[in-house]
Amino acid sequence: MNETDVVIIGAGHNGLTCAAYLARAGLRVRVVDRRKVVGGAAVTEEFYPGFRNSVAAYTVSLLNPRIIADLKLADHGLKIVERRAQNFLPSPDGSYLLTGEGRTADSVAKLSAHDAEAIEGFSRELEAIADVLRQFVLRAPPNLVEGFGATAIREAFNALGTANILRGLSLEQSRNLLDLFTRSAGEMLDERFENDLVKALFGFDAIVGNYASPYAAGSAYVMLHHAFGEVNGKKGVWGHAIGGMGAITQAMARVAREAGADIRLDAGIREVIVEKDRAVGVVLDSGETIRAKYVAASVNPKLLYTRLMPSGALAPEFLARMNRWRNGSGTFRMNVALSALPSFTALPGEGDHLTAGIILAPSLGYMDRAWQDAREHGWSRAPVVEVLIPSTLDETLAPEGQHVASLFCQHVAPELPDGKSWDDHREEVADLMIATVDAFAPGFGKSVLGRQILSPLDLERQFGLLGGDIFHGALTLNQLFSARPMLGHADYRGPLRGLYHCGSGAHPGGGVTGAPGHNAAQAILADHRALFASR
């Protein structure tokens, strides 16, 4: 019979995490995805004969250590290695910044004695606040509820727990927390540092997946969002999953299947079935129905509520608010197959800097102008590009002696102005991105053997990322924490009984964290147990 306990929409890493926890708790779980492969935005693909790379998400840090341990992902094939250097920022004037364990202080000192003094304090400040955020990652934020009852009591305890975590902060740290949630990264960095590359190191994190200037209010939070991860126990560090990001989701799928979850691919959902204000299953594109006690959706919340719900199922105010959910991260993503490693003018030849995230955006002003230009023109003519060459750490990705690189590019408009389409400008913008790298590493363009291009429109078409939004919705204060995806629904429960949010559109937001999947599974299990207890 086509009936199960839980149906999960989407086999991205959060859908899979949710499935694994629920199946291990003994529930019958079915995951359905419209794509032919598991993984959503965390996948590896051969994009040019003999060359494989992570297609969308490309670097790992935020994946929660408890989820890695609980699901025994290492035993299921996942191996994460550290970059040998963390970040490399070349400047057109020939100077550069190279960060990483045992490198940052010396490299900053060569640029500015003042900043060498300041950076340790700033990093400590950021780390202290990131430590607080880490405590919120695997718990539902306080949820606003109306009236009294069991839910209100549960939320009162949750609010007390939240207050307790925040009490661990000194008054000065609380002030820093407020700054980081509300201010612009640019302002905060200008106050602390004098060198452009040092500011750009932190400022880049403020605009990753954030279609905004680093001087936009709230961009400091996006910077913080990229600081709460770790690799193999080392906080704030970024690394590489051997085999690419698909190795993470392949391991998750193995765990979920071993626990009994059924994963069906090439099976898009057309509509959620709603009966008497309760989600009771889904209709596939094929017309087949699957009935379930619980429906968990890992898709972008705007996609769920504006495209996959029967008309009339939602309160008009809820739907109107969801229509205003802001998508569009300003991202353009490429993979390139390379005949040789690039050589950067600022630091020629091979070396550990080629294992780093190479940030081509030498100042906050450059990033600000990139955003302004994209808003007016549709894409920035001097874009921000992060180059990552994972084949310097992983020989499974390219033929011997050759390489693959990820190019993560900001800023481009989610929708082009004047009725222009990304279908007509994809190649032109891809050429620009390669020329941008070439300006820092002459000869790069000539070494490109093949390329894969994903404009915002392609990200939407291939992955269901509305507006190409890499995080399933902007990480702005009105779409974060208790407001993600909406005040009153921060506890992973949707506006209909039996309907749950288990993707990046729920707290703590985007990134390959596994956290929304984990937290939604806890909410479903709590409701399941309460249902049985009441019988």
Given the rule CB under 6 A, which residues bind ligand FAD? 9-15, 32-35, 40-42, 56-59, 62, 268-269, 298-299, 308, 331, 333, 459, 463-465, 470-472, 503-504, 510-512
DSSP class per residue in 92-127: TTS-EEEESTTTHHHHHHHH-HHHHHHHHHHHHHHH
- CA trace torsion 386, 391, 393, 396 (10° rounding): 140
Closest contact distance (angstroms) between CB of 101 and ligand FAD is 20
- Neighbour count for residue 78 (Cβ, 10 Å): 23
Residues 535, 293: contact at Cβ < 8 Å? no
Q: In whole angstroms, give the CA distance from residue 456 to residue 465.
A: 8
User: Alpha helices of 324-421 — where are they, by DSSP H?
Assistant: 364-377
205: left (phi > 0), else alpha (psi -120 to 50), else beta? Answer: alpha
- Is the link from the previous residue into 495 a cis peptide, with omega within 30 of 0? no
Shorter beta-carbon distance to ligand FAD: residue 35 or 199: 35
Closest contact distance (angstroms) between CB of 513 and ligand FAD is 7
Supply 120's token pair.
């340790």
Shorter beta-carbon distance to ligand FAD: residue 236 or 399: 236
Shorter beta-carbon distance to ligand FAD: residue 118 or 231: 231
Closest contact distance (angstroms) between CB of 201 and ligand FAD is 17
Closest contact distance (angstroms) between CB of 254 and ligand FAD is 16
Residues 233, 65: contact at Cβ < 8 Å? yes
Closest contact distance (angstroms) between CB of 471 and ligand FAD is 5
Q: In whole angstroms, give the CA distance from residue 76 to residue 27.
A: 21
Shorter beta-carbon distance to ligand FAD: residue 362 or 503: 503
Nearest CA among 249, 245, 512, 254 for reference residue 394: 245
C-alpha distances (whole Å) from 129 to each of 134, 222, 511, 514 are 9, 13, 18, 21
Shorter beta-carbon distance to ligand FAD: residue 11 or 416: 11
Shorter beta-carbon distance to ligand FAD: residue 176 or 327: 327
516: left (phi > 0), else alpha (psi -120 to 50), else beta? Answer: alpha
Shorter beta-carbon distance to ligand FAD: residue 83 or 472: 472
Closest contact distance (angstroms) between CB of 56 and ligand FAD is 4
Closest contact distance (angstroms) between CB of 250 and ligand FAD is 14
459 Cα distance to chain centroid: 13
Supply 514's token pair.
């596994």
Closest contact distance (angstroms) between CB of 459 and ligand FAD is 5
Closest contact distance (angstroms) between CB of 35 and ligand FAD is 4
Shorter beta-carbon distance to ligand FAD: residue 55 or 441: 55
C-alpha distances (whole Å) from 387 to each of 207, 356, 411, 427, 437 are 15, 8, 15, 18, 8
Shorter beta-carbon distance to ligand FAD: residue 253 or 398: 253
Shorter beta-carbon distance to ligand FAD: residue 409 or 434: 409
- Is the link from the previous residue into 425 a cis peptide, with omega within 30 of 0? no
Closest contact distance (angstroms) between CB of 425 and ligand FAD is 18
